[in-house]
Structure 1
């Protein structure tokens, strides 16, 4: 597996609208997309900084993974996402190297990407997301 770049950094937030205002007012960034990802129980907002994005994540469910994260650790960095050409191959490579997978197969994520997460227990405490434009290549 060789990522091409950091796709985005995911930040868990309690209030999406307040957080959007912060990034726009303090840094002068423009939120270019707000999207609901129902299967992950989140609303997301995106900002672009060079080739990297900041993704804000607000839980839509008090029992959802982002809500549980905030309950345990507070708002802040939730995950780092790497762009890969072939997400299925990247998952196989990670598993062959002993990395525990949260997602054994890619699933739809925000912005039409295919995503899969690696478990932080085997990534030195960092929730790591892999992203690809498609999951066609097996």
Structure 2
């Protein structure tokens, strides 16, 4: 059986765009019966090297994470700068934004996705790794996020 474009079938994370990370974090914590996690800002562009549609991008977002076994729920509250997060909130409102998969070889995977008709929308660095949002919405009805941890 083929391992497909990703090289894995294991979903690492589901990302959800929200307007108010404090409230939605409280709601998820109560629902899951866990302590509410602290949220944090994504790194500034100088550190994260964020690019949106091929251009340097100052966009940031508040993030909160819930670890649910092997799957992580990520809540994302975007700032007002243009980004995949802000676009989604403006166009669709709150809701599921992406499905993330852990991969190896980010540059190669981004090229493979591009060659398969799934262009890169946004990418950046985080402490311990990097991410890339690929435009799979037409076919898969959700973005795919590639995560590569060091």
TM-score class, shorter: 0.7 to 0.9
Q: State the TM-score, normalized to the length of structure 2.
A: 0.74
Find the counterpart in structure 2 of residue 58 from structure 1: 77
1:28 equivalent in alignment to 2:45:
no
> For 2:29 and 2:145, how far apart are their aligned partners in 1?
25
Local SS of the residue matching 1:102: strand
Residue 8 (str. 1) matches residue 13 (str. 2): yes
Q: Does residue 93 of structure 2 align to residue 88 of structure 1?
A: no
Q: Check the 8 A contact 1:29/1:48 in 2, yes or no.
A: no
Measure, in 1, the Cα distance between the counterparts of 2:118 and 2:63.
27
User: Separation in 2 of the partners of 1:126 and 1:29?
Assistant: 27
| 3-state SS of 2:64 partner | strand
Q: 1:50 to 1:15 in 2, by over 3 A?
A: same
Which deviates the most, 37-46 or 115-124? Answer: 115-124
Counterparts in 2 of 1:51 and 1:115: CA distance versus 1, 3 Å: same
Tell whether the 8 Å contact from 2:11 to 2:99 is kept in structure 1 after alignment: yes
Segments of 5+ residues of structure 1 without an aligned counterpart are none
Count of aligned positions: 131
Are the equivalent residues in 1 in contact too, given 2:118–2:136 (CA < 8 A)? no
Q: CA deviation at 1:64?
A: 4.7
Determine the C-alpha separation between the residues in 2 that align with 1:67 and 1:96. 26
- Does the aligned pair in 1 maintain the 2:84–2:121 contact within 8 Å? no
Q: Aligned equivalents of 2:101 and 2:130: distance in 1?
A: 12
Structure 2, unaligned runs of 5 or more = 1-5, 45-57
* Bigger shift: residues 76-85 or 112-121: 112-121
